[in-house]
């Protein structure tokens, strides 16, 4: 079974690339983030390739979806105790069971900068993610949180940590939220490096970041023992970041024995 996650940075703008990638990579399940479209406006072309689709979006700067050719059951939109930002609950998390595997597509708030209201919202949102993960990973079925966490777990997951001092994505409270997930029994499924020694998943569009590999590993897979123990391979598909008009993120692909 092949399960992947990808922040597509607008499913409409990236649709030709998404369709081509689905046909070439052939994932059984794909978690998507940053749809930038409403639930109803999710492109029907994905379903025409034989995938079932569940989406959750309002057409603004977020939105998540799961597409599957392994079935979709027990869909849940939103987290347990999920906080609002500026009196609105943003579409940032959707869960479903696909072929016996429970997956969540998550798009963690950016946080903007420490001390900002959005940063405090990010930390509260991560608390709700933890509560949901604890509740949903209690049984023995394979379970994984997959998506854009907007957190680099360690200094090595940033191309130059000295440039991020005092910035979001690397602060102690953000990383502590990941540690709490690990303490709850979830494992960080780290992709194997392909071209470089670090499996970065995001590169800014500016200053030739991708050709220079000035990236970050912020698209993560946090899985329980049943999921992590079934992993046979995990990698970042850098090819999907190349060419004209890509997302600034690359897909993370995980193969399971199931």
- Catalytic positions are 107, 148, 249
Question: Position of tokens 């193969």?
Answer: 255
- At residue 143, φ and ψ (nearest 5 deg) are -145, 140
Q: Is 160 annotated as a binding residue?
A: no
> Is 28 annotated in some ligand binding site?
no
Pairing between strand 143-148 and 101-107?
parallel
Residue 170 in contact with residue 164, Cβ under 8 Å?
A: yes
Confirm if 131 and 79 have CB atoms less than 8 A apart.
yes
Residue 38 CA to residue 232 CA, distance in Å, equals 35
249 is in an annotated binding site: yes
User: By the 8 A CB rule, do 123 and 173 touch?
Assistant: yes
Full DSSP string of 134-172? HHHTSSSS-EEEEEE-S--SSGGGBS-GGGGTT-TTS-H
Give the single-character DSSP code of 216. E
Asked if 35 and 58 touch (Cβ cutoff 8 Å), the reply is no
Whole-angstrom distance, CA of residue 81 vs CA of residue 93: 12
User: 105 near 111, Cβ under 8 Å?
Assistant: no
Q: How many residues does the chain have?
A: 258
Please give the Cα distance from 144 to 130 (Å, whole number): 12
Q: Is 90 annotated as a binding residue?
A: no
Q: Residue 248 annotated as binding?
A: yes
Q: What are 91's two structure tokens?
A: 């579409």
d(CA 195, CA 189): 18
Residue 150, marked binder: yes
- Residue numbers belonging to the annotated binding site: 7, 34, 148, 150, 248-249
- Residue numbers belonging to the annotated binding site for Mg(2+): 7, 34, 148, 150, 248-249
């Amino acid at each position: 079974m092949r399960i992947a996650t990808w922040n597509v940075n607008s499913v409409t703008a990236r649709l030709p690339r998404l369709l081509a990638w689905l046909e070439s990579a052939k994932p059984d399940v794909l978690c998507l983030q940053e749809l930038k479209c409403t639930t109803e406006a999710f492109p029907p072309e994905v379903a025409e390739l034989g995938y079932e689709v569940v989406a959750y979006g309002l057409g603004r700067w977020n939105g998540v979806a799961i597409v599957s050719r392994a079935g979709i059951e027990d869909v849940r939109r939103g987290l347990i105790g999920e906080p609002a930002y500026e009196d609105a609950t943003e579409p940032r998390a959707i869960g479903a069971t696909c072929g016996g595997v429970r997956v969540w597509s998550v798009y963690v708030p950016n946080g903007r900068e420490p001390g900002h209201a959005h940063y405090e919202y990010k930390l509260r949102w991560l608390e709700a993610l933890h509560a949901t993960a604890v509740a949903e990973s209690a049984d023995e079925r394979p379970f994984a949180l997959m998506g854009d966490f907007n957190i680099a777990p360690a200094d090595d997951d940033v191309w130059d940590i000295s440039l991020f001092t005092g910035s979001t994505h690397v602060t102690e409270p953000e990383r502590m939220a990941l540690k709490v997930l690990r303490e709850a029994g979830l494992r960080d499924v780290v992709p194997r490096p392909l071209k470089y020694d670090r499996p970065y998943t995001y590169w800014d569009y500016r200053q030739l970041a991708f050709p220079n590999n000035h990236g970050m590993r912020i698209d993560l897979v946090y899985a329980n023992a049943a999921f992590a123990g079934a992993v046979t391979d995990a990698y970042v598909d850098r090819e999907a970041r190349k060419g004209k008009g890509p997302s600034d993120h690359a897909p993370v692909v995980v193969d399971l024995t199931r």
